[in-house]
Structure 1
Amino acid sequence: MSDLSFAAINKQLSLSRRMFLGSSLAAATLPAVARAQEAAPIGNLEPRQLPARSLPVPTTVSKELQAVIAAPYAPEWNALPEDSAAWKDLAAKSAESAAPAIAAIREHFGLTVEKTTMAGVPVFVITPKEIAPRNRDRLLVHVHGGGYVLFPGEAGAGEGMMMAGHGKFKVVSIDYRMAPDFPYPAALDDVMAVWRVLMAAYDPRKMAIFGTSAGGALTLCATLRAKAEGLALPGAIGPGSPLADLTWSGDTIMANAFVDNALVSRRSWATGASAIYAGERDLRDPMLSPIFGDFSGFPPAILTSGTRDLFLSDTVRTHRKLRQADVVAELQVFEGQSHAQYLTPSLPESEEAFAEIAKFFETHLAS
């Protein structure tokens, strides 16, 4: 595939990701009481009033990324699906929108993608045309994002395909059950079911689990659950921009509101989607919000975010908590990027992000 055609697909995927992983699915405006709570003082500490300002596109990133940063919010970013049928229709549209880009990624890297099942869970086994010799006995397990509601089927495997292509690893991408039909703990149950199958076939020390956004949260939750159940932990993990706190309490949830042109603000679709996934459960449950879990004994971790990411605080807080537990943990934060924009194909920054993650896995997975 020519660079020109891949760049065109990249532009299309950037739009579809912005629409379906980000701003176009934003929830309706919060009630007045919630808006008041957002601006309420804490004790005698008053919130800072910020002057209106324009935010320029940074000159410190690649020209390709500048175009992504400059993209406006999608026109219907505050539309909220009204019922389960509407959420499922939106999920189907997200898959349809991503399909051309998924096909382009597969062709660009010359990947073989096989759909199968493990313990009854659909998965995609992604094999690059050449597996690096050092990675021949290693396996990466991918958990996709999309707020627990979007990117069903092969549409969710794009990040896994990019990791296979850039890192020359074999990857298993899990097509877990999603809300609204299957709220918590269905997604986590499916990840754990696949993990048990793979543990029987591979040395866990030679496997890593990774994913972005909801996939990053599930990466952390799966590690917490494996630890709680006495199962072998992976040799390394890669939670990218994890949705680690369903209470939406991190500093950049407010500081980067309307700066992030993917998720836009806490009033986005992701808040509604995470509520559908969580149901009536306590949002501080570590199996929903892993930031409240015990990270002691975790495997080495690499975390990825961007300076405009609404979830930068979730990523930073997770990194600090891992370090406080004496876990080997690296944090890479990319200039100017909003939520999950390092997943945009053909950006120089995307290649750099995946190269760093691959290098981390190569360093920390057993040979």
Structure 2
Amino acid sequence: MEAAQNAANAVPGARSVPGRRIPVPGTVSPEFQAAIAAPYRVPAWNADPGNAAEWKALVARLAAQTAAPLPALRERLGVVSTPEVIGGVKAWIIAPKVVPERNRHRLLIHIHGGGYVYNPGEAGTVEAVLMAAFGGFTVISFDYRMPPDAPYPAAMDDAMAVWKAALGLQPAENMAVFGTSTGGGMTLALMLRAKREGVPLPAAIAPGTPWSDLTETGDSYKANEWLDNVLVSYDGVLTRAARLYAAGRDLRDPQLSPIYGDLRGLPPTILTTGTRDLFLSNTVRTHRKLRQAGVEASLQVFEGMSHAQYLFDPDAPETREVFTEIAGFLDKHLGSAAKTP
């Protein structure tokens, strides 16, 4: 192919690459090889419901599938989930059966992912269960409102309500906020909103592969297109979900795409992504912008990982490693003293 590729790339411009098959890397665990080799997640990635009723039916069906194995998973991992209402928002308090002493007065707020449309109810608590199990933290995971019934700013209003209520439970220096994909983008947007409103910020945040830019800006949106077996292509459900959520607003609004906000003064941050992640550039650009803003920021990139794939198999060594790394980062930054009466 040498001559053909030299000719195709003989002038400056877009890179032309040949069609090719990408093997499953042998540099990851057998469990993770299975995840990398898996087919595309149809219809999650390319869904195109024609109206609100079809959206709701699809979302409910996928949520039921995700939630069904959760009781068994919690039991196996030694985690307890208790329904609550926090700040007027439906939520769950998820914690290990025995909370380590150092974490007794620490509290994490979890914002679930799902493209602003997926994972309502208990389906959105998977990541919180894994963090409670592998990190030993008590976690509040909440069920924010979503389109098509409740576009922006409903989700952010709910996130702010939960965060303000949490400040009455533990001091800000004992808390962190985390979430993956949409949850990562909302974590960053929540920090910007809290900063603007003069509300205390947590001691640290952990946005996993954040949807920090809804405008399809970034190299990996094309470089990893069709390679990521979770999101697959931005021209699937992501484009439709972004339009539903934004409801006509400018996608560069920092409350929709926090990459365009002023990140100065944000808490220490740990970000997670993978080499096949469609949102690799989102994560890398966020990391660089945080560093440029003077924020302590750590970036962990996993071999062969597609978008949010560390949430799929609790038995994969990579899953434990992701949450152990995040827990270690949080442990370094969170206080542990009891709240003063």
Bin of the TM-score, shorter chain as denominator length: over 0.9
For 1:74 and 1:248, how far apart are their aligned partners in 2?
A: 20
Aligned to 1:339: 307
Which of the numbers 139, 143, 151 marks the counterpart of 2:107? 139
For 1:228 and 1:94, how far apart are their aligned partners in 2?
A: 36
Instruction: Give the length in aligned residue pairs.
Output: 324
Q: CA deviation at 1:119?
A: 2.2
Q: Do structure 1's residue 194 and structure 2's residue 194 form an aligned pair?
A: no
Q: CA deviation at 1:305?
A: 0.4
For 1:110 and 1:78, how far apart are their aligned partners in 2?
A: 35
TM-score w.r.t. length of structure 2: 0.93
For 1:220, give the aligned amino acid: L
TM-score w.r.t. length of structure 1: 0.86
| Unmatched 5+ stretches in structure 1 | 1-43
Aligned to 1:299: 267
Which of the numbers 185, 189, 205 marks the counterpart of 1:221? 189
Aligned to 1:206: 174
Superposed CA deviations along residues 205-236 of structure 1, whole A, max 9, x for unmatched, are 10000000000000000000000000000110
Q: CA deviation at 1:201?
A: 2.0
For 1:261 and 1:102, how far apart are their aligned partners in 2?
A: 23
Q: Do structure 1's residue 363 and structure 2's residue 332 form an aligned pair?
A: yes
Q: CA deviation at 1:46?
A: 2.3
Structure 1 segment 242-261 matched on structure 2, within 5 A: 242-261=210-229
SS at match of 1:220: helix
Aligned to 1:173: 141
For 2:162 and 2:260, how far apart are their aligned partners in 1?
A: 25
Aligned to 2:238: 270
Q: CA deviation at 1:185?
A: 0.5
For 2:47 and 2:195, how far apart are their aligned partners in 1?
A: 39
Paired residues of 1:135 and 1:169 also in contact (CA < 8 A): yes
CA separation of 1:45/1:64 partners in 2, compared to 1, >3 Å: closer, same or farther?
Answer: same
Q: Percent identity?
A: 56
Q: CA deviation at 1:101?
A: 2.6
Say which structure is richer in helix: 1
- Say what the alpha-carbon RMSD is for the aligned residues: 1.2
Q: CA deviation at 1:45?
A: 5.1
Structure 1 segment 1-367 matched on structure 2, within 5 A: 46-74=13-41, 78-344=46-312, 345-367=314-336
Paired residues of 1:105 and 1:158 also in contact (CA < 8 A): no
CA separation of 1:62/1:150 partners in 2, compared to 1, >3 Å: closer, same or farther?
Answer: same
For 2:115 and 2:135, how far apart are their aligned partners in 1?
A: 26
**Mean Cα deviation higher: 89-98 or 301-310:** 89-98
SS at match of 1:200: coil
CA separation of 1:346/1:281 partners in 2, compared to 1, >3 Å: closer, same or farther?
Answer: same
CA separation of 1:259/1:139 partners in 2, compared to 1, >3 Å: closer, same or farther?
Answer: same
Superposed CA deviations along residues 100-147 of structure 1, whole A, max 9, x for unmatched, are 332232111222211111221001001211111111110000000001
